Amino acid sequence: MAVSKAFSMGWRARPTNELPLCLAKPGAFHNANAGTGLAKTKLKTKFALKESIMKRILWLIVATFAISLTTLTTYAQSGSLKLRFSVPSPFTAGNTVFPAGEYEVTQPEPYVLLLRNVETQASGFEQVQAKSRTNGGGSAKVVFHRYGAEYFLDRITDGPAKSAYDLRPSKQERRLANGGSNPQPDVVSYLANGGRSQQ
């Protein structure tokens, strides 16, 4: 009777949804561990994605800064050239004919020069090829090829800097050089201060 009472006092009825460990399904613990592993994997993926986004943002900031610095440097270099010269005869630059007069030369872009007539404000853009000179110094000047009475702008030098800007020969100059009676042109230079020297 005492044993029966003790047994009845120690036994507690289990809820229907709670099974003894010995009766639990074989995959129950495996499923619980798998759920924990999946949560850890998702957490790692979330952190990795966040880190990747931060790296991309940082790279964009660095790239933007580098582009801005390059643009400022290019702009500073582009605006360094500015000179004036006077030419007594009409001349051709590229395929554009300019009247005689005083001109201002500036460099709005690295490989583009702007020629502007100071009096009439007539202007034209010319593509150039930048070339380095072995020796700096000297005066800023413009160099023309002369065939008879026709002048063709050939080169612009910027004085103390070690740079020169060559213009492409025009169609008319190429025609004179290839089929003219005098294929070798005279080289005429006009200094920025208005002086003139013929080589």
User: What is the model's pLDDT at position 162?
Assistant: 61
Which stretches of 15-122 are assigned E, i.e. beta strand?
82-87, 91-93, 96-98, 101-109, 112-117
- H or E element that contains 48: helix 28-78
Q: What is the rounded distance in angstroms from the CA atom of residue 22 to the CA atom of residue 128?
A: 91
Torsion of CA 112, 117, 118, 120, to 10 degrees: -140
Identify the burial level of 92 via C-beta atoms within 10 angstroms of its C-beta, where 0-12 means exposed, 13-18 middle and 19 or more buried: buried
**Could you count the other beta carbons within 10 Å of the beta carbon of residue 149?**
7
| Per-residue pLDDT tens digits for 88-124 | 999 999 889 999 999 999 989 888 999 999 999 989 9
Residue-level pLDDT at 160? 64
pLDDT tens by residue, the chain, 199 residues: 454 444 444 445 555 555 454 455 555 445 555 556 667 777 778 777 878 888 888 878 877 766 655 444 444 444 567 889 999 999 999 889 999 999 999 989 888 999 999 999 989 999 888 776 555 556 788 999 999 899 999 999 887 656 789 999 999 999 888 876 667 889 999 887 555 554 4
Report pTM. 0.56
Q: What is the pLDDT of residue 115?
A: 93
Long-range contacts of residues 191-196, Cβ cutoff 8 Å, at least 24 apart: 191/85, 191/139, 191/140, 191/141, 192/83, 192/84, 192/85, 192/139, 192/140, 192/141, 192/142, 192/159, 193/139, 194/85, 194/86, 195/139
pLDDT of res. 103: 95
Half-sphere exposure of 56 (CA within 13 A, CB side): 6
pLDDT value at position 198? 47
